[in-house]
Each structure stands twice: as structure tokens, then as C-alpha cells.
Amino acid sequence: MSDYSKCCLTKYPTPVLMESARPVEKINDEIRQLAEQMIDIMIETKGVGVAGPQAGVNLRIFVVSIDGTRESAKVYINPTIKVEGPLVANEEGCLSLPGVYGKIKRYAICTVTATDLDGNEFTEVGEGLLARAFQHEYDHLEGRMIKDRLGAAGKLRAKRRLKQLEAEHKKTHKEIT
């Protein structure tokens, strides 16, 4: 049994962020604890969403709260998405890539079908910021991050910051081992 109560935010280049996540096989107390912990991380870091890999867990689950409050927080397990509408470019950041920002193109409408913590399947249509959040979090489950979606100029701008994050990660890793 995994203790998910100690999960904390992972940052680039932690390998789990670059991997495709595994489906949640059974919704049990472990998964409920993980969801609770992910919501805590989201509220503490003032994010609008957190995906499993961002909590260091290679599972297909994300939480979203469009206004950043605990009351609005929702859990999406094994989500699938369907996108529609025009692509809209807007400024985006990521908790796991602090200091990296850029215009990212996302579809205007995103429909998510997922399972909730009671094991019930539901479908939700997101528009605007919510559609953007769904696509951003879903990307995390596929091991994709905003750095992969930046345009050529944005990638160039992010390069130095990514190098810094890589160096910081190396330093922390060395201190632990």
C-alpha cells in the first residue's frame, strides 16, 4: 500500500513528469487519499489544477478548481478528452515548470469523460479557461508539458530557465543521495 499523504509537488526534470501515466485500476481509500493530497497541493500552490505525475504518482488522475478554491475542486479519474472549436493562444504557466511561461494554443471547447471518487462516470463540457485547464492536465497524463507546446520563439526563451531547473534538480538529488 502506498502512502500518498506525503506526496509533494514535483518539478521538471523529475522523470515521472515525462512518462505516460497508468490507469487507476481501483478507486479505494488510497486513491481518495491521493486526491485529497493533490487538492492540498493545488490550494497551497495557488494552482487551478494538479495531475498525478505532478504529485510524483504515475496514475491517470487530475484535480481542477477553476477559481482556486477547495469548494470548487473536482477529481477526474481515468479521463478521456474530446476537443472542439478554434485553437486559441493564451499565456500559460505550470506549477512543475516555475518561471516558464508562454502563449500556448488550446482548443476553445474540451469535453472530459471521467470517473469520480465514488466510481461514477460523468461528462463535463469545459469552455475557455476550464477547457484550457482540462487540456493542460490531460497533457500531464501523457507526459507532455507546456515546454513541449511552446512555439519556436517561446522554446528559445524557455531554454535558459529549463537549464536552471535541471541544475537545481541535480543539486537536490545529490544532497539526498
Residue ranges that bind Zn ion, judged by CB under 5 A: 94
Could you confirm whether 137 is annotated as catalytic?
Answer: yes
Which is nearer to Zn ion, 27 or 94 (by Cβ)? 94
Three cell numbers, residue 29: 481509500
Which is nearer to Zn ion, 94 or 114 (by Cβ)? 94
Q: Looking at beta carbons, which residue is closest to Zn ion?
A: 94
Which is nearer to Zn ion, 31 or 94 (by Cβ)? 94
Minimum distance of Zn ion from residue 61's CB (angstroms) = 14
Structural element, H or E, at residue 152: helix 152-176
CA distance 124 to 100: 29
Minimum distance of Zn ion from residue 177's CB (angstroms) = 27
C-alpha dihedral sign at 167, 171, 172, 174: positive
Q: What are phi and psi of 67, to 5 degrees?
A: -105, 10
Minimum distance of Zn ion from residue 161's CB (angstroms) = 15
Minimum distance of Zn ion from residue 10's CB (angstroms) = 10
Using DSSP bridges, classify how beta strands 74-93 and 121-127 pair: parallel, antiparallel or unpaired. Answer: unpaired
Where in the chain does DSSP place strands (E)? 49-51, 61-64, 74-93, 101-115, 121-127
CA distance 7 to 55: 6
Of 19, 84, 127, 137, which one is the catalytic site residue? 137
Which is nearer to Zn ion, 41 or 114 (by Cβ)? 41
Which residues lie across from 150 on neighbouring strands? none
CA distance 139 to 108: 16
Catalytic residue annotation: 137
